[in-house]
Amino acid sequence: MTSTVLAERSNLEIVLLPIDKLKPHEKGSPLYLELLKQEILRDGVLKYPIIADEKTHVILDGMHRWLALKNLGYKLIPVILVDALRNLKIRVGTRRIHRYITDSK
């Protein structure tokens, strides 16, 4: 299911915001960031929008996606804005299991 379908079913709107308006709340993994940047360049698309609080613009989901687009020079980013303090139904999780394989030789 695409993020557009999810947004439509939830009555949420995807908006384009200046990338510098968003605020990260955690550090990213350099390895995952590089893999994500390569995926975005290869596919030519960001598969999921960022989810951020509508008042503070703190990123709730998609920090690596935000950082990847920022590093690639993008000025605008697709975002779903939510009221994180008042909406008790908001759940943020991960769709990926991060596994890194290194050569131990």
Domain ranges of the chain: 3-82
Task: Give the sheet arrangement for strand 50-53, strand by strand.
Answer: 14-18, 76-82, 50-53, 59-61
Q: What is the pLDDT of residue 24?
A: 92
Q: Label residue 25 by pLDDT band (50, 70, 90).
A: confident
**pLDDT given at position 70:** 96
- Residues facing residue 66 across a β-bridge: none
The answer on pLDDT for 100 being more than 60 is no
Query: pTM of whole model > 0.85?
Result: no
pLDDT in tens, 37-94: 999 999 999 989 999 999 999 999 999 999 999 999 999 999 999 987 776 565 555 5
Rounded to whole angstroms, how far apart are CA atoms 4 and 14? 8
Q: What is the CATH topology of the domain spanning 3-82?
A: 3.90.1530
| Residues with active-site annotation | 26
Greater confidence (8 vs 24) lies with 24
